[in-house]
Amino acid sequence: MPYSFTLTTTIPASPQEVYEAWLDSLAHSEMTGGSATMSGEVGAEVSAWDNYIIGRNIELVPGERIVQSWRTSEFEDEHEDSIITLTLEPVEEGTLLTLEHSNVPDEQRSYEEGGWQENYFEPMVAYFSERRLVATEPEEEEAAPAEAPPETPLREPERAAKSKRRSQPKPQAPEPEPETKAPPKKKVASKKKAAAKKKSAPKRAVKSARKAKRPAKPKRAAPRAKTPAKKRKTSGKAASAAGRKRAKATRRKSARKRR
């Protein structure tokens, strides 16, 4: 015995967007995750979920109402087509979708028990939420340069003083003298020694050259042996003086003996 049921959900999109996406093959496939063939013409055949569902358009009111025949591969030959009616109403959150499914075989109660919710309503909410998020992302704008604050007007004396300051050359700081590092003492001593050696080298060479040019000096003959000089004879005055000294000396000796 066929039966009917009604379900509602809120889609974050306008009624016109939901209407167009449902009847578009690509959008219907992206919403549900299964291949679909849809049409916006009344009487055209439609399919969804890789031909698991087939039917045709019965009534189409743009942005308001969609009526389609709906038959799955699980229907028996004696089962008539079921009818789905989608009513789209604008609400603050987007669109209030009311689904009425009629003439459903009694064996196909899975539609009401979660089939529509899992295979259509939840995927549609995710699809339109993502599209809305992408549409509302602000584009990166280049930051405009900050405007300089307006200059306060100057009085005539202030302007003259300011222009005078600008015209005067700015004093330049004296450049620091480069530091001269004294070479280490060892290096200076070695340099002086090297310079002295260079200067003395040519002088030595000249001296050695002069010595080589000079003729050898003849050897001197051995000096003759000196003959002992004859003792000079003392004169009479010298002899008398000597005699007196001797006499005094003998007198002193004799006086000492007597004592």
Which pLDDT score, from 0 to 100, does residue 31 have? 93
Q: Where are the domains of the chain?
A: 3-135
Summarised one tens digit per residue, pLDDT across range 246-259 is 777 777 777 776 65
DSSP string for 112-179: TTTHHIIIIIHHHHHHHHHHHHHHHPPPPPPPPPPPPPPPPPPPHHHHHHHHHHHHSPPPPPPPPPPP
Residue 229 has pLDDT above 70, yes or no: no
Higher pLDDT, 57 or 169: 57
| Per-residue pLDDT tens digits for 25-38 | 999 999 999 999 99
Partners of 83 in beta bridges: 69, 102
CA angle in degrees (0–180, nearest 5) for 197-198-200: 65
Give me the residues paired with residue 71 across strands: 54
pLDDT at 112: 77
Could you tell me where the DSSP H helices lie in the chain? 15-22, 25-32, 115-116, 122-136, 156-167, 185-213, 236-258
> Residues 177-181: what's their mean pLDDT?
60
Backbone angles phi, psi at 23, to 5 degrees: -95, 5
| pLDDT average, residue stretch 181-188 | 54
Residue 237 has pLDDT above 80, yes or no: no
Q: What is the pLDDT of residue 120?
A: 95
- Residue 12 is predicted with a pLDDT of 96
Tens of pLDDT, residue by residue over 18-68, are 999 999 999 999 999 999 999 999 999 999 999 999 999 999 999 999 999
- What is the CATH number that goes with domain 3-135? 3.30.530.20
Burial of 64 (0-12, 13-18, 19+ CB in 10 A): middle
> How confident is the model over 203-219, as pLDDT tens digits?
555 555 555 555 555 55
What is the pLDDT at residue 147? 62
Higher pLDDT, 7 or 175: 7
Tens digit of each residue's pLDDT (9 = 90 or more) over 86-125: 999 999 999 999 999 999 988 877 777 888 999 999 999 9
Its sign, for the CA torsion 103, 37, 48, 89, is negative
CA distance 30 to 21: 9
DSSP H or E stretch at residue 12: none
pLDDT at residue 84 above 80? yes
Beta carbons within 10 angstroms of residue 39's beta carbon: 15
CA-closest candidate to residue 5, choices 84, 107, 95: 84
5 in Cβ contact with 104 (< 8 Å) = yes
Whole-number average pLDDT of the chain:
76
Place of tokens 């090297």: 194
Cβ distance 116 to 104 under 8 Å?
no
If DSSP codes are grouped into helix, strand and coil, which group holds residue 92? coil
Rounded mean pLDDT, 166-194:
58
pLDDT, residue 157, reads 57
